[in-house]
Amino acid sequence: MRSLARWIALAACLVSANAQVLLPYEQFDNDGIPPEVYRQRRERLAAAHSPRSLIVLLSADVRNRQNDVDYEYRQNSNLLYLTGCTEPRCALVIIPGGTTWNGEHITELLFIPPRNPDRELWTGVRMGTNEAQQLLGIRPTLDYAMLGEVLDSLLTNRDTLYIASGLPTPSVTIPIVGKPIEVEQLLRDSLQRRHSDLVVRTSLRTLSIMREVKDEHELRLLRRAIGITLDAFEHVLRSVRPAMNEYEIEALMEYHFRRAGAEDVGYPSIVGSSYNSCILHYQKNRRPTKAGDLVLADCGAEYHGYTADITRTFPISGKFSPEQRALYLLVLEAQDSAIAAARVGAPFRATHRAAESVIARGLVDLGIIASPSEVRRYFPHGTSHYLGLDVHDAGTYGPLREGTVITVEPGIYIPPGSPCSERWWGIGIRIEDDILVTSNGPVNLSAQLVRHPDQIEALMRSQ
């Protein structure tokens, strides 16, 4: 009770007319990326651009959920990659040619709201200008309210402005109007009215090139996110049983994410049973499972901004039917072939070509399609995408480079009513792992989690 009284007294102080009490800003994790690494990234980005250019990165929008409730905040990945800052309403300005500020030569500025004890009573402790300068190592750090004024001053002698990845919200569609309001175009028009010769670009290829290859710190955090996800999958496979709702499986998965320290999911969890396993981005997760169902679970924990992306398909009753097993083994063969194709210098689509070839041949052999040209009916998506700060991460989609992390995720989906034997209907199978491309060949970062149907059945019996 004394502890509660202490916090009530502190809250009273915070809302007083002359409130000046500020709780200390604390960092509870010590395994993040060092500020020096972020500084090196900013320097590399600046060095790749003209001295007469300016680069601006804006924080992600605070998204309203409904009325006065916002969604949990997630930072813009480009800004996170260059600063480590997770705060809303901030901006980074990189000045490749440098400028003089208060008699000092600078090449970067960070804008962030100052501390406000009255507001922090509602939102929690925030990183203010002083804390940001100390923890992030970016000097100077200014009040976010000064961004427009300072930017106008900096643009006076610049010919190109890069706003990396455009705006947090590039366009807004209002149903009554019937057409999108292009926020990016409004920004261009506004800037060019004040700076008539300014070229405004909303893409930054150099940043995509940089983010495509992961450094040792990123790989460490990715391995952590993947490890959390694999452990959660093992718990799920040992615990599921017929009649569980899809959302119970989702809850069990995400409980283990959070319990292991993941801040969030990298994307909404997909848990589809029976015919729902044939819906590529199914997210309702409400159906009760039934004996004999296959369940496709596509889930990934996010740890310090980096996300895993793992998919396993398993029989809720613990044993594959002959049809389920036949298609599962075909997808597994396709995945093995695709993983082997993930080599330095290979075209990005090499993994897909390998997987598609195996699945096309296998579906013909099973009598599900008449010709390999029909394969996209049941394998309609690509096999790989980049993985990192985003589940579909930034990259060039050129030849695979050492240090790149990609997914390999072939699948077969045969919805009810498909033009094939009814015994295949309602079977959806995807197997997905996270692959590091190295000069010594592909490394499966998620290899710890069972993939073969015999292994899955054995793990499910061990519950």
Spot the catalytic one: 108, 432, 433, 434.
Answer: 432
pTM of the model: 0.93
Which residue from 402, 379, 56, 346 is spatially nearest to 207, judged by alpha carbons?
Answer: 56
Residues 279-300 have a mean pLDDT of 98
CB atoms within 10 A of CB 327: 28
pLDDT reported for residue 18: 41
The CATH number that domain 213-461 falls under is 3.90.230.10
Task: Please indicate whether residue 392 is annotated as part of the active site.
Answer: yes
Look at residue 374 and tell me whether its pLDDT is greater than 90. Answer: yes
Query: For the chain, what are the domain ranges?
Result: 17-208, 213-461
Task: Please indicate whether residue 385 is annotated as part of the active site.
Answer: yes
CA 440 to chain CA centroid, Å, is: 27
Residues 22-51 have a mean pLDDT of 94
DSSP string, 16-71: STT----PPP----S-S--HHHHHHHHHHHHHTS-TTEEEEEEPPP--EEETTEEP
Quickly name the fold that domain 17-208 has: Creatine Amidinohydrolase; Chain A, domain 1 (3.40.350)
Percentage of the chain beyond pLDDT 90 is: 83
Spot the catalytic one: 413, 433, 434, 451.
Answer: 413
Spot the catalytic one: 281, 376, 423, 461.
Answer: 281
Task: Please indicate whether residue 304 is annotated as part of the active site.
Answer: no
Tens of pLDDT, residue by residue over 100-136, are: 988 999 999 999 999 999 999 998 999 999 999 999 9
pLDDT reported for residue 165: 62
Q: What angle do CA 342, 366, 376 make, to 5 degrees?
A: 50
Task: Please indicate whether residue 413 is annotated as part of the active site.
Answer: yes
Task: Please indicate whether residue 281 is annotated as part of the active site.
Answer: yes
pLDDT reported for residue 371: 98
Task: Please indicate whether residue 182 is annotated as part of the active site.
Answer: no
Please compute, for residue 169, the number of CA atoms within 13 A of its CA located in the half-sphere on the CB side: 10
Please indicate whether the domains covering 17-208 and 213-461 agree at the CATH topology level: no
Q: CA-CA distance, 228 to 250, in Å (whole number)?
A: 15
Task: Please indicate whether residue 68 is annotated as part of the active site.
Answer: yes
pLDDT band at 177 (very low <50, low <70, confident <90, very high): confident
Torsions phi, psi for 183 (to 5 deg):
-65, -40
pLDDT band at 250 (very low <50, low <70, confident <90, very high): very high
Q: How many residues does the structure list for the chain?
A: 463
Tens of pLDDT, residue by residue over 132-147, are: 999 999 999 999 999 9
Which residue from 267, 308, 298, 410 is spatially nearest to 349, judged by alpha carbons?
Answer: 410
